[in-house]
Structure 1
Amino acid sequence: MSRRHETGPGGAWRHHSLTIVFGLLLLLFVVGQAVAGTAEYNETARTDGVQQISFARYVSSSSFLVDLVENWQSEYLQFTLYILLTIWLVQRGSSESKKPGETGRESDEEQLVGRFARPDSPRWAQVGGWRRAVYSHSLVIAMTVVFVLSWLAQAVTGRVAESEQRMRDLLDPVSFGDYLVSPDFWSRTLQNWQSEMLAIASMAVFAIYLRERGSPESKPVGMPHDVTTADD
Structure 2
Amino acid sequence: MRFLRDNGLTIVLGVATLTMIGGMLLTGWQIYNQELADHGASSLGLSQYAMSGHFLSAVFENWESEFLQMSAYVVLTAFLFQRGSAESKDPDEVLPQDEDPAICAADPDMPWPVKAGGIVGSIYAYSLGLVLMALFLASFLLHLRYSAYAADAQARLHGQMPMTITEHMASTQFWFESFQNWQSEFLSTGVLVVLSIFLRFRGSPESKPVSAPHRETGS
Give the TM bin, normalised by the shorter chain.
over 0.9
* 1:1-232 mapped onto 2 (5 Å cutoff): 10-102=1-93, 106-108=98-100, 113-117=101-105, 118-229=107-218
Between 215-224 and 22-31, report the one with greater CA deviation.
215-224
For 1:43 and 1:172, locate their aligned partners in 2 and report how far apart those are by CA, in whole Å: 23
For 1:56 and 1:127, locate their aligned partners in 2 and report how far apart those are by CA, in whole Å: 46
Task: Flag the 1:47–1:147 CA change in 2: closer, same or farther, 3 A.
Answer: same
Between 55-64 and 41-50, report the one with greater CA deviation.
41-50
For 2:36 and 2:103, locate their aligned partners in 1 and report how far apart those are by CA, in whole Å: 65
- Amino acid corresponding to residue 114 of structure 1 in structure 2: A
Task: Flag the 1:176–1:103 CA change in 2: closer, same or farther, 3 A.
Answer: farther
Corresponding pairs, count: 217
Q: Structure 2, unaligned stretches of length 5 or more?
A: none
- 1:20-69 superposed Cα distances (whole Å, 9 cap, x missing partner): 00000000000000011011112222222221112221111111000000
For 1:125 and 1:181, locate their aligned partners in 2 and report how far apart those are by CA, in whole Å: 43
Assess if the C-alpha contact under 8 Å between 2:81 and 2:89 holds in 1. yes
TM-score by length of 1: 0.89
Assess if the C-alpha contact under 8 Å between 2:87 and 2:218 holds in 1. no
SS at match of 2:189: helix
Assess if the C-alpha contact under 8 Å between 1:114 and 1:127 holds in 2. no
TM-score by length of 2: 0.94
Aligned residue number for residue 5 of structure 1: none
Identity of aligned pairs, percent? 36
For 1:106 and 1:41, locate their aligned partners in 2 and report how far apart those are by CA, in whole Å: 50
- 1:166-213 superposed Cα distances (whole Å, 9 cap, x missing partner): 112111110111111101100000001000000100000010111111
For 1:116 and 1:177, locate their aligned partners in 2 and report how far apart those are by CA, in whole Å: 49
Task: Flag the 1:55–1:218 CA change in 2: closer, same or farther, 3 A.
Answer: same
Question: Following TM superposition, by how much is the alpha carbon of 1:116 offset from its aligned partner in structure 2, in angstroms?
Answer: 2.4
